[in-house]
Chain A
Amino acid sequence: MADGVKPRVRVPKEASAGEAIQIKTLISHPMESGQRKDDDGNTIPRSIINRFTVEFEGENVIDVMLEPAISTNPYFEFEATVPTSGTFVFTWYDDDGDVYTEEKAITVA
Protein backbone atom coordinates (compact mmCIF):
# COMPACT_ATOMS: atom_id res chain seq x y z
CA MET A 1 0.00 0.00 0.00
CA ALA A 2 1.18 3.49 -0.78
CA ASP A 3 2.42 5.25 2.35
CA GLY A 4 0.17 7.51 4.41
CA VAL A 5 -3.01 7.03 2.36
CA LYS A 6 -5.84 8.60 4.33
CA PRO A 7 -9.35 9.29 3.02
CA ARG A 8 -11.23 12.40 4.08
CA VAL A 9 -14.91 13.10 3.47
CA ARG A 10 -17.18 16.03 4.24
CA VAL A 11 -20.92 15.26 4.43
CA PRO A 12 -23.52 17.31 6.31
CA LYS A 13 -24.82 15.54 9.44
CA GLU A 14 -28.45 16.30 8.63
CA ALA A 15 -30.58 16.93 5.55
CA SER A 16 -34.20 16.94 4.53
CA ALA A 17 -35.54 14.19 2.26
CA GLY A 18 -34.78 14.88 -1.40
CA GLU A 19 -32.53 17.85 -0.65
CA ALA A 20 -29.40 18.18 -2.78
CA ILE A 21 -26.44 17.91 -0.44
CA GLN A 22 -22.87 18.84 -1.24
CA ILE A 23 -20.17 16.23 -0.64
CA LYS A 24 -16.42 16.78 -0.80
CA THR A 25 -13.79 14.04 -0.74
CA LEU A 26 -10.01 14.08 -0.70
CA ILE A 27 -7.62 11.17 -0.29
CA SER A 28 -3.90 11.59 0.31
CA HIS A 29 -2.22 9.66 -2.52
CA PRO A 30 0.78 10.44 -4.78
CA MET A 31 -1.03 9.38 -8.01
CA GLU A 32 2.29 8.35 -9.57
CA SER A 33 1.55 8.77 -13.27
CA GLY A 34 4.02 6.32 -14.80
CA GLN A 35 5.34 9.22 -16.91
CA ARG A 36 8.04 10.37 -14.51
CA LYS A 37 11.65 9.24 -14.20
CA ASP A 38 13.78 8.93 -11.07
CA ASP A 39 17.26 10.44 -10.62
CA ASP A 40 18.84 7.47 -12.42
CA GLY A 41 16.61 7.88 -15.45
CA ASN A 42 14.43 4.86 -14.72
CA THR A 43 10.69 5.23 -15.24
CA ILE A 44 8.82 5.32 -11.93
CA PRO A 45 6.02 2.74 -12.29
CA ARG A 46 2.42 3.93 -12.37
CA SER A 47 0.63 3.73 -9.02
CA ILE A 48 -2.71 5.48 -8.82
CA ILE A 49 -6.20 5.32 -7.39
CA ASN A 50 -8.05 4.00 -10.46
CA ARG A 51 -11.66 3.98 -9.23
CA PHE A 52 -13.74 5.85 -6.68
CA THR A 53 -17.32 4.96 -5.79
CA VAL A 54 -19.96 6.40 -3.48
CA GLU A 55 -23.02 4.45 -2.39
CA PHE A 56 -25.84 5.20 0.00
CA GLU A 57 -27.56 2.19 1.53
CA GLY A 58 -26.57 0.08 -1.48
CA GLU A 59 -27.65 2.61 -4.11
CA ASN A 60 -25.06 4.33 -6.30
CA VAL A 61 -24.35 8.06 -6.19
CA ILE A 62 -21.27 8.27 -8.41
CA ASP A 63 -18.75 5.81 -9.81
CA VAL A 64 -15.58 7.42 -11.19
CA MET A 65 -12.85 5.86 -13.32
CA LEU A 66 -9.60 7.76 -12.66
CA GLU A 67 -6.63 8.05 -15.01
CA PRO A 68 -3.07 9.26 -14.22
CA ALA A 69 -4.12 12.81 -15.22
CA ILE A 70 -5.97 13.23 -11.92
CA SER A 71 -3.79 15.35 -9.59
CA THR A 72 -1.95 14.17 -6.48
CA ASN A 73 -4.32 13.85 -3.49
CA PRO A 74 -7.46 13.22 -5.63
CA TYR A 75 -10.26 15.64 -4.85
CA PHE A 76 -13.93 15.32 -5.84
CA GLU A 77 -16.93 17.48 -5.14
CA PHE A 78 -20.46 16.38 -6.17
CA GLU A 79 -24.08 16.37 -5.04
CA ALA A 80 -26.33 13.61 -3.67
CA THR A 81 -29.92 13.22 -2.52
CA VAL A 82 -30.94 10.92 0.31
CA PRO A 83 -34.45 9.50 0.74
CA THR A 84 -34.02 8.40 4.37
CA SER A 85 -31.50 8.40 7.19
CA GLY A 86 -28.60 6.07 6.45
CA THR A 87 -24.91 5.72 5.71
CA PHE A 88 -22.73 6.74 2.78
CA VAL A 89 -19.95 4.35 1.87
CA PHE A 90 -16.95 5.84 0.02
CA THR A 91 -14.50 3.43 -1.61
CA TRP A 92 -11.17 4.12 -3.33
CA TYR A 93 -9.41 1.37 -5.34
CA ASP A 94 -5.60 1.45 -5.57
CA ASP A 95 -3.58 0.02 -8.49
CA ASP A 96 -1.76 -2.18 -5.97
CA GLY A 97 -5.01 -3.91 -5.00
CA ASP A 98 -5.60 -2.02 -1.77
CA VAL A 99 -9.07 -0.68 -1.07
CA TYR A 100 -9.71 2.26 1.23
CA THR A 101 -13.18 2.93 2.64
CA GLU A 102 -14.83 5.60 4.71
CA GLU A 103 -18.40 5.75 6.03
CA LYS A 104 -20.53 8.74 6.98
CA ALA A 105 -23.99 8.62 8.53
CA ILE A 106 -26.60 11.26 7.74
CA THR A 107 -29.90 11.91 9.49
CA VAL A 108 -32.95 12.85 7.43
CA ALA A 109 -35.34 14.92 9.49
Chain B
Amino acid sequence: MKYLSTTACVLAVLATGAWADPDDDELVINGDIEIVTQTAAPAHLEGVMDTIYSGWRFRSDETQSVQADDFDNPGMLGVEVGIDLWNAVEGTEGESCASCHGSPEEMAGVSATYPKWNEEAGEVRTLTMQVNDCRENRMGAEPYAYDKGDAVNMTALLTSVSRGMPMDVAIDGPAQSTWEAGKELYYTRFGQLELSCANCHEDNYGSMIRADHLSQGQINGFPTYRLKNTKLNGVQSRFKGCIRDTRAATFNPGSPELIALELYVASRGNGLSVEGPSVRN
Protein backbone atom coordinates (compact mmCIF):
# COMPACT_ATOMS: atom_id res chain seq x y z
CA MET B 1 0.00 0.00 0.00
CA LYS B 2 3.01 2.25 -0.30
CA TYR B 3 1.62 4.13 -3.27
CA LEU B 4 -1.26 5.35 -1.19
CA SER B 5 1.02 7.33 1.10
CA THR B 6 2.88 8.72 -1.90
CA THR B 7 -0.39 9.97 -3.34
CA ALA B 8 -1.25 11.61 -0.06
CA CYS B 9 2.11 13.39 0.01
CA VAL B 10 1.72 14.74 -3.50
CA LEU B 11 -1.71 16.09 -2.65
CA ALA B 12 -0.35 17.74 0.48
CA VAL B 13 2.37 19.52 -1.49
CA LEU B 14 -0.18 20.75 -4.01
CA ALA B 15 -2.34 22.08 -1.22
CA THR B 16 0.45 24.01 0.47
CA GLY B 17 1.97 25.38 -2.72
CA ALA B 18 4.48 23.61 -4.93
CA TRP B 19 6.42 26.83 -5.57
CA ALA B 20 7.95 29.07 -3.03
CA ASP B 21 10.66 31.59 -3.79
CA PRO B 22 11.30 33.46 -7.02
CA ASP B 23 13.21 31.40 -9.57
CA ASP B 24 16.86 31.88 -10.55
CA ASP B 25 16.35 32.83 -14.21
CA GLU B 26 18.14 35.80 -15.74
CA LEU B 27 16.60 38.24 -18.20
CA VAL B 28 18.49 39.64 -21.18
CA ILE B 29 16.22 41.33 -23.73
CA ASN B 30 17.08 40.89 -27.42
CA GLY B 31 20.33 39.26 -26.33
CA ASP B 32 21.46 42.78 -25.52
CA ILE B 33 19.71 44.64 -22.68
CA GLU B 34 20.65 43.13 -19.32
CA ILE B 35 17.86 43.48 -16.80
CA VAL B 36 18.50 43.56 -13.05
CA THR B 37 15.66 41.44 -11.63
CA GLN B 38 17.13 41.04 -8.14
CA THR B 39 19.08 43.48 -6.02
CA ALA B 40 19.57 44.76 -2.49
CA ALA B 41 16.48 46.51 -1.14
CA PRO B 42 16.68 50.32 -0.91
CA ALA B 43 17.62 51.79 2.47
CA HIS B 44 14.08 52.79 3.38
CA LEU B 45 13.07 49.09 3.40
CA GLU B 46 15.62 48.22 6.09
CA GLY B 47 14.10 45.76 8.53
CA VAL B 48 11.30 44.99 6.05
CA MET B 49 13.11 43.01 3.36
CA ASP B 50 16.70 42.51 2.28
CA THR B 51 16.26 41.71 -1.40
CA ILE B 52 13.89 43.03 -4.03
CA TYR B 53 12.79 41.01 -7.07
CA SER B 54 11.12 41.95 -10.32
CA GLY B 55 7.73 40.30 -10.89
CA TRP B 56 9.36 38.61 -13.91
CA ARG B 57 11.09 36.21 -11.52
CA PHE B 58 7.75 34.87 -10.29
CA ARG B 59 6.38 33.94 -13.70
CA SER B 60 6.51 30.64 -15.60
CA ASP B 61 9.28 29.99 -18.12
CA GLU B 62 6.77 30.35 -20.97
CA THR B 63 5.64 33.80 -19.83
CA GLN B 64 9.21 34.88 -19.08
CA SER B 65 10.45 34.00 -22.55
CA VAL B 66 7.86 36.21 -24.26
CA GLN B 67 9.58 39.26 -22.74
CA ALA B 68 13.07 38.22 -23.80
CA ASP B 69 12.58 39.21 -27.46
CA ASP B 70 10.88 42.40 -28.63
CA PHE B 71 9.37 40.58 -31.60
CA ASP B 72 7.67 38.07 -29.33
CA ASN B 73 6.53 40.73 -26.84
CA PRO B 74 3.06 42.01 -27.88
CA GLY B 75 3.61 45.01 -25.57
CA MET B 76 5.93 46.34 -28.26
CA LEU B 77 2.86 46.84 -30.48
CA GLY B 78 1.97 49.66 -28.07
CA VAL B 79 5.49 51.06 -28.37
CA GLU B 80 5.08 51.16 -32.16
CA VAL B 81 1.87 53.15 -31.77
CA GLY B 82 3.77 55.34 -29.28
CA ILE B 83 6.37 56.16 -31.93
CA ASP B 84 3.63 57.35 -34.30
CA LEU B 85 2.15 59.48 -31.50
CA TRP B 86 5.60 60.87 -30.71
CA ASN B 87 6.04 62.13 -34.26
CA ALA B 88 2.47 63.36 -34.79
CA VAL B 89 1.86 67.11 -34.82
CA GLU B 90 -1.23 67.78 -32.70
CA GLY B 91 -2.92 70.79 -31.12
CA THR B 92 -2.95 74.51 -31.76
CA GLU B 93 0.80 75.15 -31.52
CA GLY B 94 1.86 72.99 -34.46
CA GLU B 95 4.18 70.91 -32.32
CA SER B 96 4.86 67.22 -31.84
CA CYS B 97 6.81 65.52 -29.04
CA ALA B 98 9.63 65.12 -31.55
CA SER B 99 9.80 68.80 -32.46
CA CYS B 100 11.05 69.65 -28.94
CA HIS B 101 12.60 66.40 -27.71
CA GLY B 102 14.10 64.88 -30.86
CA SER B 103 14.07 61.09 -31.05
CA PRO B 104 12.43 58.97 -28.35
CA GLU B 105 15.90 57.68 -27.43
CA GLU B 106 16.69 61.19 -26.14
CA MET B 107 14.33 60.34 -23.28
CA ALA B 108 16.42 57.39 -22.09
CA GLY B 109 16.48 57.36 -18.29
CA VAL B 110 13.59 59.78 -17.83
CA SER B 111 10.94 57.21 -16.91
CA ALA B 112 13.22 55.75 -14.21
CA THR B 113 12.86 58.93 -12.13
CA TYR B 114 9.06 59.15 -12.20
CA PRO B 115 6.89 59.89 -10.21
CA LYS B 116 8.83 63.06 -9.51
CA TRP B 117 8.40 66.44 -7.78
CA ASN B 118 7.68 69.28 -10.19
CA GLU B 119 8.88 72.54 -8.63
CA GLU B 120 6.90 74.87 -10.87
CA ALA B 121 3.63 73.06 -10.32
CA GLY B 122 4.34 72.33 -6.67
CA GLU B 123 3.21 68.70 -6.95
CA VAL B 124 4.44 65.17 -7.50
CA ARG B 125 3.81 64.18 -11.09
CA THR B 126 3.63 60.79 -12.76
CA LEU B 127 5.03 60.31 -16.24
CA THR B 128 1.49 60.37 -17.62
CA MET B 129 0.80 63.71 -15.91
CA GLN B 130 3.99 65.16 -17.35
CA VAL B 131 3.09 63.97 -20.87
CA ASN B 132 -0.35 65.55 -20.48
CA ASP B 133 1.18 68.79 -19.22
CA CYS B 134 3.26 68.94 -22.40
CA ARG B 135 0.21 68.21 -24.53
CA GLU B 136 -1.98 70.86 -22.91
CA ASN B 137 0.50 73.66 -22.26
CA ARG B 138 3.10 73.27 -25.01
CA MET B 139 1.20 71.60 -27.85
CA GLY B 140 -2.25 73.04 -27.18
CA ALA B 141 -3.63 69.49 -27.52
CA GLU B 142 -6.18 67.51 -25.54
CA PRO B 143 -4.71 65.56 -22.63
CA TYR B 144 -4.81 61.76 -22.89
CA ALA B 145 -7.39 60.02 -20.71
CA TYR B 146 -5.45 58.68 -17.74
CA ASP B 147 -4.13 55.12 -18.32
CA LYS B 148 -6.24 54.70 -21.48
CA GLY B 149 -4.91 53.52 -24.87
CA ASP B 150 -2.72 56.37 -26.11
CA ALA B 151 -1.53 57.38 -22.62
CA VAL B 152 -0.30 53.84 -22.02
CA ASN B 153 1.19 53.53 -25.52
CA MET B 154 3.13 56.76 -24.95
CA THR B 155 4.43 55.71 -21.52
CA ALA B 156 5.37 52.30 -22.99
CA LEU B 157 7.50 54.11 -25.57
CA LEU B 158 9.16 56.18 -22.84
CA THR B 159 9.89 53.16 -20.61
CA SER B 160 11.10 51.06 -23.55
CA VAL B 161 13.98 53.46 -24.19
CA SER B 162 14.94 53.33 -20.48
CA ARG B 163 15.01 49.53 -20.22
CA GLY B 164 17.99 48.24 -18.29
CA MET B 165 18.42 51.50 -16.36
CA PRO B 166 17.84 51.36 -12.60
CA MET B 167 14.63 52.72 -11.09
CA ASP B 168 15.63 55.81 -9.16
CA VAL B 169 12.75 57.85 -7.76
CA ALA B 170 13.48 60.54 -5.17
CA ILE B 171 11.60 60.20 -1.89
CA ASP B 172 13.07 63.05 0.13
CA GLY B 173 12.79 66.82 -0.07
CA PRO B 174 9.47 68.18 -1.34
CA ALA B 175 8.31 64.69 -2.47
CA GLN B 176 8.53 63.30 1.04
CA SER B 177 5.02 64.14 2.24
CA THR B 178 3.48 62.51 -0.87
CA TRP B 179 5.74 59.48 -0.33
CA GLU B 180 4.60 59.23 3.30
CA ALA B 181 0.96 59.38 2.16
CA GLY B 182 1.66 56.57 -0.32
CA LYS B 183 3.35 54.51 2.37
CA GLU B 184 0.35 54.87 4.63
CA LEU B 185 -1.95 53.66 1.84
CA TYR B 186 0.37 50.68 1.21
CA TYR B 187 -0.11 49.49 4.78
CA THR B 188 -3.84 50.30 5.02
CA ARG B 189 -6.21 47.34 4.94
CA PHE B 190 -8.98 47.86 2.41
CA GLY B 191 -12.26 46.18 1.59
CA GLN B 192 -14.30 43.35 2.96
CA LEU B 193 -11.23 41.13 2.75
CA GLU B 194 -9.32 43.64 4.88
CA LEU B 195 -6.15 43.33 2.87
CA SER B 196 -3.36 45.85 2.53
CA CYS B 197 -0.80 45.82 -0.27
CA ALA B 198 1.70 44.60 2.33
CA ASN B 199 -0.40 41.59 3.38
CA CYS B 200 0.17 39.96 0.00
CA HIS B 201 3.23 41.58 -1.53
CA GLU B 202 5.42 42.07 1.56
CA ASP B 203 4.32 39.32 3.97
CA ASN B 204 3.52 36.58 1.47
CA TYR B 205 5.43 37.08 -1.78
CA GLY B 206 6.60 33.74 -3.11
CA SER B 207 3.51 31.97 -1.80
CA MET B 208 0.60 30.83 -3.90
CA ILE B 209 -2.65 32.77 -3.73
CA ARG B 210 -4.95 30.16 -5.24
CA ALA B 211 -3.16 29.31 -8.51
CA ASP B 212 -1.11 32.50 -8.70
CA HIS B 213 2.50 32.96 -7.59
CA LEU B 214 2.54 36.15 -5.50
CA SER B 215 5.22 38.66 -6.44
CA GLN B 216 6.51 41.62 -4.48
CA GLY B 217 4.17 43.84 -6.47
CA GLN B 218 7.08 45.79 -7.97
CA ILE B 219 6.13 48.24 -10.72
CA ASN B 220 9.41 48.51 -12.62
CA GLY B 221 7.77 46.52 -15.46
CA PHE B 222 4.83 48.86 -16.16
CA PRO B 223 3.16 49.39 -18.54
CA THR B 224 2.60 45.63 -18.57
CA TYR B 225 1.17 43.43 -21.32
CA ARG B 226 -1.05 40.97 -19.47
CA LEU B 227 -1.88 37.59 -20.97
CA LYS B 228 -5.17 37.88 -19.10
CA ASN B 229 -6.54 40.86 -21.03
CA THR B 230 -4.06 40.85 -23.94
CA LYS B 231 -3.33 44.56 -23.75
CA LEU B 232 -0.96 47.03 -22.16
CA ASN B 233 -2.02 47.98 -18.62
CA GLY B 234 -1.04 51.16 -16.81
CA VAL B 235 0.20 50.87 -13.25
CA GLN B 236 -2.60 52.88 -11.68
CA SER B 237 -5.21 50.73 -13.43
CA ARG B 238 -3.50 47.73 -11.84
CA PHE B 239 -3.66 49.41 -8.42
CA LYS B 240 -7.34 50.12 -9.00
CA GLY B 241 -7.99 46.47 -9.85
CA CYS B 242 -5.98 45.17 -6.92
CA ILE B 243 -7.82 47.34 -4.39
CA ARG B 244 -11.16 46.50 -6.04
CA ASP B 245 -10.35 42.80 -5.59
CA THR B 246 -10.18 43.32 -1.83
CA ARG B 247 -13.88 44.19 -2.29
CA ALA B 248 -13.30 47.84 -1.49
CA ALA B 249 -14.60 51.03 -3.04
CA THR B 250 -11.44 51.60 -5.05
CA PHE B 251 -9.57 54.69 -6.29
CA ASN B 252 -9.42 55.88 -9.88
CA PRO B 253 -6.29 56.27 -12.01
CA GLY B 254 -5.06 59.85 -11.72
CA SER B 255 -6.46 60.30 -8.20
CA PRO B 256 -4.18 61.85 -5.52
CA GLU B 257 -4.25 58.54 -3.62
CA LEU B 258 -2.93 56.47 -6.53
CA ILE B 259 -0.33 59.12 -7.46
CA ALA B 260 1.04 58.89 -3.91
CA LEU B 261 0.87 55.10 -3.96
CA GLU B 262 2.71 54.98 -7.29
CA LEU B 263 5.55 57.08 -5.87
CA TYR B 264 5.83 54.87 -2.80
CA VAL B 265 5.66 51.54 -4.65
CA ALA B 266 8.10 52.79 -7.30
CA SER B 267 10.54 53.65 -4.50
CA ARG B 268 10.35 50.09 -3.16
CA GLY B 269 11.82 49.02 -6.51
CA ASN B 270 14.68 51.54 -6.61
CA GLY B 271 17.62 49.60 -8.04
CA LEU B 272 15.63 47.19 -10.24
CA SER B 273 15.86 47.82 -13.98
CA VAL B 274 13.12 49.57 -15.90
CA GLU B 275 11.41 46.73 -17.83
CA GLY B 276 8.32 48.27 -19.43
CA PRO B 277 6.63 47.07 -21.49
CA SER B 278 6.91 43.82 -19.57
CA VAL B 279 4.85 40.63 -19.98
CA ARG B 280 2.91 39.15 -17.07
CA ASN B 281 -0.03 36.79 -16.56
Chain A residues proximal to chain B, CB less than 8 Å: 4, 6, 8, 10, 24, 26, 28, 71-73, 75
Contacts and interface: CB of A to CB of B under 8 A. Distances in A.
B160 to A, nearest CB: 15
A71 B71 contact: no
Nearest to B77: A28
B71 A26 contact: yes
Given A8-B71, A10-B71, A24-B72, A71 B230 contact: yes
Contacts of B72: 24, 26, 75
10 contacts: A4-B81, A6-B80, A24-B72, A26-B71, A26-B74, A26-B77, A71-B230, A72-B230, A73-B230, A75-B72
Contacts of B71: 8, 10, 24, 26
Interface of B: 71-72, 74, 77, 80-81, 230
A71 B62 CA distance: 15
Contacts of B81: 4
A71 B226 CA distance: 13
Contacts of B230: 71-73
A28 B72 CA distance: 12
A103 B204 CA distance: 50
Contact of B74 (A4, A10, A24, A73): A73
B279 to A, nearest CB: 12
Name the prevailing secondary structure of the B interface residues.
Answer: loop
Given A4-B81, A10-B71, A73-B77, 5 more contacts: A6-B80, A28-B74, A28-B77, A73-B74, A75-B74
Contacts of B74: 26, 28, 72-73, 75
B232 to A, nearest CB: 11
B84 to A, nearest CB: 10
B228 to A, nearest CB: 11
Nearest to A24: B71
A108 to B, nearest CB: 23
B71 to A, nearest CB: 5
A72 B77 CA distance: 12
Nearest 10 Cβ contacts at the A-B interface? A72-B230, A73-B74, A28-B77, A10-B71, A24-B71, A73-B77, A26-B71, A73-B230, A71-B230, A6-B80
Contacts of A75: 72, 74
A26 B77 CA distance: 10
Contacts of A6: 77, 80
A4 B77 CA distance: 10
Contacts of A4: 81
